[in-house]
Amino acid sequence: MLRAHGVHASAGARILIRALALSLEPGTVTAIVGPNGAGKSTLLRGLAGLAPLQGDVQLDGHALTSVDARTRARALAYLPQRTAVSAGLTVRDVVRLGRLPHRGRFAGLSEADHAVVDASLQRMQVERFADRPIHTLSGGERQRVMLARMLATEAPTMLLDEPTTALDVRHALDLLRTLRALADEGRAVLVAMHDLTHADAFAHRVVCLHADDQGTVTHGPTAEVLTPARLQTVFEVPFIRDGEGRLRVCVDR
Amino acid sequence: MNRTRVALVGGVLGLLAALWLALVIGPGGVTSADAWTVLLGGQTSDMVRALVWDLRLPRALLAVVVGASLSLAGAVTQGLFRNPLAEPGVLGVSAGAAMAGAIGLAAGVDAAGPWAVGALACVGAVAVLIALMAWARADARLSTLILCGVAIASVCGAITTLVLSFGIERWEVAVKVVRWLMGSFEGRSWTHLGVGAGALGLGITGAAWLRRDLDALGLGAQTAASLGVDLRQTWRGGIAVVGLLAGVCTALTGVIGFVGLVVPHMARAAVGPGHARLLPASALFGGALVLMVDLVTRSVDTLALPPGALTSLLGTPVFLIVLWRLRAEVS
């Protein structure tokens, strides 16, 4: 399990994050929200162990920086904002790369590896086009393949950086439902996202980066963090909660 | 038989056929039977033995080794930089090797032994790769890396020309440098072959060690790192492999461009993008191709045609075709 406290990040003179404490519990979806440039990607990359992050980040009780890369890769699956896949790689090739942290340098894929790859393809319902080149897929299909690649690592914690940005609203909702289902199966999911109504609907907990240059961060259960008053302050956009308690954005021309 | 197998069997047969032609083509009337006799260690005339064993066989094998090395270097470069247009020739790595070697030759380091120029060429190649890598980390777009390579190649070319113009006072030095720069498979001995084969062996070992990391880089540096790939180590390993192969090849036979670009594309079409197959297939096809190029240059026997000139003539159209197919991505 990934736990962090005293996390601090800055960009030049601007403090992005001050004294954030966070622990990613199995079975929960945690959303990171905040305006552009608030430090969502910085935080996510740091928690994934891919960029330095000030503060105490622990993976299963060990300092993340001291964990060797393969062990880390088996515990934390990470999806960057954009994945530029080399031409010619098929869906199956991509998902097989998820087994990399489980294989020795010169070892091929074992029976068990193939079984996990097949299961991951099936779980994400992409086995139909397993042998198609990835660049022939639509955006929604592509992201499902990326999720299958993450599942193939068998990592209990999944970190995703704006996975729905390139998707239309139906496919975005499909993806978020899938993430929620993966959490329900016992994984911890941390996802940076822009759409606050989506965060409200799908996340158990929310980390809101205020982007106020003081490093203010609000973190807690979704309904407590995503209040119309706070969103007005942070995003300068009016939100309301409707009769059923759902977050709504008030759009004015 | 699937496409992969057809391509690999075709490559092996093409290579063997070209090797055979390399032994029997040319003046001296060497027959197939003569060639067999020499290879099996039987009794033949001294002239036939000298032609086959001392001249043609090492030259042919060196062409195979150089072709395999350059193609392997090209495949590793393309994977490392995630750039289908990358190749030691296009990126100025070979030009850097040539410049370093030319400076060394003009300064007379070859007096220390034939290895000295080769070692300097490797240093030049590695220096260019380090500069490129620094650039690529700051700006990963396809086109800027290629432009950076073009700029480096032209600077290296200019410095090489300067070296020559200073050296023109001492005629024999200038001739030595020009000859070395033009490159050739002519008159290459078993010693040259040994150096090339040794570098290729090390290169193959390094490439095999890197292959999964190169596969992972196909999903981008961030994703590769998240899958446990040590990017710094991969880049260092890749630079060492490409620098060694490009440097040694340049030192042995001059700048031979475009082989490293064209052959990995042929290999990718035949065996797919996975490096476990792509790297050996590139080496195989590259060895066969450069040997065939050398057969062509040898049969035009009135000219001492440098092999690099012919590969550039043949390779440039392929480069442009690849560029055209990638135009959306490059712009």
Contact B274 A86 (CB under 8 A): no
Evaluate whether B284 touches B12 at the Cβ level (below 8 Å): yes
Q: What is the pLDDT of residue B329?
A: 52
**H-run or E-run covering A14:** strand A14-23
Establish if A78 touches chain B: CB-CB under 8 angstroms.
Answer: yes
Q: What is the pLDDT of residue B306?
A: 78
Which has the closest alpha carbon to B223: A89, A82, A67?
A82
Which residue from B84, B225, B273 is facing A89, i.e. has the nearest CB?
A: B273
> How close B274 comes to chain A (CA, Å)?
8
Which amino acid, A64?
L
Evaluate whether A107 touches B208 at the Cβ level (below 8 Å): no
A 107-146 residues with CB below 8 A of B? 108
The residues, any chain, with a CB within 8 Å of residue B9's CB and separated by 6 or more, are B1
Confidence of residue B330 (pLDDT cuts 50, 70, 90): very low
**H-run or E-run covering A44:** helix A40-47
- Which range has the worst mean pLDDT, A162-166, B300-304, B322-326? B300-304
Evaluate whether B135 touches B145 at the Cβ level (below 8 Å): yes
Contact B222 A45 (CB under 8 A): yes
Confidence of residue B208 (pLDDT cuts 50, 70, 90): very high
For the segment A230-250, the average pLDDT, to the nearest whole number, is 92
* Digit-coded pLDDT (tens) for B263-280: 998 898 899 899 999 999
Query: How far is the CA of B91 from the CAs of B62, B97, B206, B246, B251, in angstroms?
Result: 24, 12, 21, 11, 17
For the segment A43-69, the average pLDDT, to the nearest whole number, is 94
Q: Six-digit token pair at A30?
A: 């945690």
* Digit-coded pLDDT (tens) for A131-189: 999 888 998 999 999 999 999 999 999 999 999 988 999 999 999 999 999 999 999 99
DSSP string, A172-227: HHHHHHHHHHHHHTT-EEEEE-S-HHHHHHH-SEEEEE--SSB--EEEEEHHHHS-
Q: What is the pLDDT of residue B1?
A: 57
Largest CA distance in chain B: 64
Q: Is B159 exposed, middle or buried (0-12, 13-18, 19+ CB in 10 A)?
A: middle
Contacts of B212 in chain A (CB under 8 A): 100, 103, 105
Evaluate whether A197 touches A241 at the Cβ level (below 8 Å): no
Contact B209 A101 (CB under 8 A): no
Give residue B165's Cα distance to chain centre. Answer: 27
> How close B21 comes to chain A (CA, Å)?
36
The residues, any chain, with a CB within 8 Å of residue A79's CB and separated by 6 or more, are A146, A147, A150, A158, A159, A160, A161, A163, B223
Establish if A250 touches chain B: CB-CB under 8 angstroms.
Answer: no
Establish if B314 touches chain A: CB-CB under 8 angstroms.
Answer: no
Q: What is the pLDDT of residue B316?
A: 83
Which of A83, A86, A151 to mutate against chain B (most B CBs within 10 Å)? A86
Phi first, then psi: give them for residue B223, nearest 5 degrees: -65, -40
Which has the closest alpha carbon to B229: B241, B244, B237, B217?
B217
**H-run or E-run covering A31:** strand A29-33
Contact B226 A78 (CB under 8 A): yes
Confidence of residue B304 (pLDDT cuts 50, 70, 90): low
> How close B216 comes to chain A (CA, Å)?
6
> How close B110 comes to chain A (CA, Å)?
40
Contact B273 A93 (CB under 8 A): yes
For the segment A33-47, the average pLDDT, to the nearest whole number, is 94
Establish if A88 touches chain B: CB-CB under 8 angstroms.
Answer: yes
The residues, any chain, with a CB within 8 Å of residue B316's CB and separated by 6 or more, are B258
Which of A50, A85, A100 to mutate against chain B (most B CBs within 10 Å)? A100
* Percent of chain B with pLDDT strictly greater than 90: 42
Q: What is the pLDDT of residue B301?
A: 61
Contact A70 B228 (CB under 8 A): yes
Could you tell me which residue, B210 or B304, shows the higher pLDDT? B210
Q: Which long-range contacts (CB under 8 A, 24 or more apart) does B105-113 make?
A: B105/B173, B105/B176, B105/B177, B105/B180, B106/B163, B106/B164, B106/B166, B106/B167, B106/B173, B106/B177, B108/B173, B110/B176
Residue A230 has pLDDT above 80, yes or no: yes
Q: Is B170 exposed, middle or buried (0-12, 13-18, 19+ CB in 10 A)?
A: exposed
DSSP A41: H
Cβ-Cβ pairs closer than 8 A, A with B, add up to: 74
Evaluate whether B133 touches B149 at the Cβ level (below 8 Å): no
- Which range has the worst mean pLDDT, B29-43, B190-204, B217-231, B240-254? B29-43
Contact A149 B219 (CB under 8 A): yes
Which amino acid, A116?
V
Establish if B223 touches chain A: CB-CB under 8 angstroms.
Answer: yes
Which residue from A50, A89, A108 is facing B226, i.e. has the nearest CB?
A: A50
Confidence of residue A47 (pLDDT cuts 50, 70, 90): very high
Contacts of B228 in chain A (CB under 8 A): 69-70, 72-74, 100-101
Q: Compute the CA torsion angle A196, A202, A207, A209 (nearest 10 deg).
A: -20
Confidence of residue B331 (pLDDT cuts 50, 70, 90): very low
Contact B218 A89 (CB under 8 A): yes
Which has the closest alpha carbon to A99: A88, A85, A114?
A114
Contact A94 B84 (CB under 8 A): no
Question: Least CA distance to A91: which residue of chain B?
Answer: B219
Q: What is the pLDDT of residue B141?
A: 65
Residue B75 has pLDDT above 50, yes or no: yes
Evaluate whether A60 touches A3 at the Cβ level (below 8 Å): no
Contact B225 A69 (CB under 8 A): yes
Question: Least CA distance to B326: which residue of chain A?
Answer: A87
* Percent of chain A with pLDDT strictly greater than 90: 84
Q: Six-digit token pair at A109?
A: 């894929």
Q: What is the pLDDT of residue B140?
A: 60
Angle between helices A139-152 and A111-123 (to 10 degrees): 140
Please tell me the distance from the alpha carbon of residue B60 to that of residue B265, in angstroms, as a whole number: 24
Q: What is the pLDDT of residue A236?
A: 93
| Mean residue pLDDT across chain A | 93
Evaluate whether B226 touches A117 at the Cβ level (below 8 Å): no
B109-140: b (≥16 Cβ within 10 Å) or e: bbeeeeebbbbbbbbbbbbbbebbbebbeeee
Which of A74, A96, A97, A150 to mutate against chain B (most B CBs within 10 Å)? A97
- Which range has the worst mean pLDDT, A23-32, B107-116, B190-199? B107-116
Q: What is the pLDDT of residue B108?
A: 86
- Which range has the worst mean pLDDT, A164-168, B22-26, B135-139? B135-139
Contact A100 B228 (CB under 8 A): yes
Q: Is A161 helix (H, G, I), strand (E, B) or coil?
A: strand
Q: What is the pLDDT of residue B117?
A: 86
Q: Six-digit token pair at B108?
A: 């007379």
Q: Six-digit token pair at B33?
A: 């039977």
Establish if B209 touches chain A: CB-CB under 8 angstroms.
Answer: yes
* Digit-coded pLDDT (tens) for A177-220: 999 999 999 999 999 999 999 999 999 999 999 999 999 999 99
Residue B113 has pLDDT above 80, yes or no: no
Q: What is the pLDDT of residue B67?
A: 95
Question: Least CA distance to B79: which residue of chain A?
Answer: A86
Looking at this predicted complex, what is its ipTM? Answer: 0.92
Contacts of B220 in chain A (CB under 8 A): 80, 82-85
Contact B212 A100 (CB under 8 A): yes
Question: Least CA distance to A46: which residue of chain B?
Answer: B226
Evaluate whether B46 touches B56 at the Cβ level (below 8 Å): no
Establish if A98 touches chain B: CB-CB under 8 angstroms.
Answer: yes
Q: What is the pLDDT of residue A209?
A: 96
